[in-house]
Structure 1
């Protein structure tokens, strides 16, 4: 069994240091070791793939016993801004990293990496007036995608023009949840998103066959996200929701870079551990100057259909505690349940609640709060 410590020891000579975990702080991050599979992000000045360095790292890890190695390259300067760290590497002048982070936060200088030049894209330009809302969670299994899909539909029911990007590229689920079976068409070399329940949808799921797994490295994920903004004919929109992968990995960092004006909604369950982990996603949003619109506590309770009593099967208070720690509003506490939809219905979907149901009304309330917050800021 390969350990994280063995990985650090193996790559230290390649990176020119033997300071143990000091290697991670200055040159690599996001190290994941599972059995003999190793994944990590390599920080370089350019942020571009470095063939000799990659070859040397792979060789060192292979000698340590790694069978599969995934390497992602990111600019070293962007790490501090994204993570909220001081950004001062050993040997650098005091305040240099802080100044760089401040410049990035203020929007000064050119945007590097996958976000470079995207500000000229019509959808992302300031003149578009589009409100971007990323829906995030600290861990999987809390119902983040369900919340994203139903909030998008609720906004559409309020008369808003809504786009939905399934940015959970490894774990895409939006097309299935919305009952979408078709594929996008290409018109004049532009991809036309699928529209369902008044929401324009784009997902990696449209481009794979038979639910095949996505085996990609970090840079390819960023390029796919970039294509979702550049190559898609979105038309005029009021809101774009992004269903982010759980956690604070590469895709979340790319979204923070590509859409600096995005706001966020954090989804958690009432369980204390889920809320604790979700706080990391919220902290990442704050450090990258993404405003948190609010917290949605999902699976808050189970309401007995026979007696009407509420059973708090996952505990209580996690969402409120998270909202307090992030100085954000608790937008809703959603009960456990599933839509009562039948496959014979013409508009069947496994996960979209009808507007006249209790859950549909709860999502309508969230949509109203989101609209009020976004439009109030636009007017000010």
Structure 2
């Protein structure tokens, strides 16, 4: 039996790219441990929590790569361990996050806030550090979905975000009483978004998920001016009437130079909780077809589910990840988003920071 050497293993691993930097894990010193003995290879790779939702499939990817490049008889085991790489401050606003994702829709009533909150919860459940900013100033839904009505406090001049289900959350709903309406013009909206970003003690985040107001208003422009946004997700229901407005949302994000990372079809079908039969109340597949037409990735379908509605109404949206119908759909949307981000970074690795010598 041919025995692999340590050098053989490292040479093979040099083809495995870290999903965050796009560089090979050997070059960036993320092979944390390597044991080669008696035809067994045990590798510990360090990966950041930015791509924690993909750790199980990244483990399998590394094992397949090693198995293909080492002698056939070699037994390979790869373990993933957290590797901390500090996030950089974004723009003049000073937010410390690795990815900012805006979740928008062309119109209200398509479940945008529910999807944004569920996306944040899914990423956090996988091990990522996640903030959720409710920028839907006129109709803040996030506090209700998470079942919290705490009021933010100030510490050393910074607003302390509310902790809920592993998320750091900020919303106008924590500040304005439920029965009061916010009646603001554009400059006031811009100021509120800036304050939520700049004056909130978010800490170090992997993801900041921003729940946008419906439509094509001022907030997207404000967001694009304040910091570099990693991309946007557009939520829509499958019927043609809703798709007309979703197309406008895609156009809006593109106009302010925010890349559309994907579209999500919400309420794609109703699954009967008693017999399991499926009913296409609003149709199905419309968002995927439109995404294909627009050249936008399709992230997945979320069924119209009684449990999802109930958990949102009672402020326990996190419990939807225990539902056998809803959970797989939500988890797949999260993974597809993160897969797209990983593929982009691996294909376009960032340039190294160079110091300027004077």
> TM-score w.r.t. structure 2 length?
0.67
Confirm whether residue 175 of structure 1 aligns to residue 143 of structure 2: yes
Query: Within the alignment, does 1:374 sit opposite 2:341 as a pair?
Result: yes
1:167-194 per-position Cα deviation (integer Å, ceiling 9, x unaligned):
0000111001110121112111111100
Residue 66 of structure 2: aligned partner? none
**Is the contact between residue 131 and residue 238 of structure 1 (CA under 8 Å) also seen in structure 2?**
yes
Matches within 5 A, 1:1-80: none
Q: Do the aligned partners of 2:308 and 2:326 also contact (CA within 8 Å) in 1?
A: no
Separation of aligned partners in 1, 2:290 and 2:256:
18
Q: Which residue of 1 aligns with 2:38?
A: none
Higher RCO (CA < 8 A, seq sep 6+): 2
Unaligned 5+ residue runs, structure 1?
1-117
Retained in 1: the 8 A contact 2:97–2:204? no
Secondary structure, aligned partner of 2:91 = helix
- 2:326 aligned with 1:359: yes
- Aligned twin of 1:120: 92
Say whether 1:185 aligns with 2:161. no
Secondary structure of 1:334's counterpart equals: strand
- The 2-side partners of 1:317 and 1:354 are apart by 23
Kept in 1: contact 2:271–2:279 (CA 8 A): yes
- Deviation string 1:266-303 (CA, Å, 9 cap, x unpaired) is 10001011011100010122232221111100011111
2:91–2:228 Cα contact (<8 Å) kept: no
Matches of 1:171 and 1:342, distance apart in 2: 19
TM-score, structure 1 length as denominator? 0.64
Q: SS in structure 2 opposite 1:299?
A: strand
CA RMSD of aligned residues (A): 2.1
State whether structure 2 residue 272 is matched by structure 1 residue 300: no
| Counterpart secondary structure, 1:352 | helix
Query: What is the SS of the residue equivalent to 2:223?
Result: helix
Structure 1: how far apart are the matches of 2:200 and 2:229? 20
> Helix, strand or coil: the match of 2:204?
coil
Deviations 1:208-253 (A, max 9, x none): 1243100111110100000011110000100001111111111222
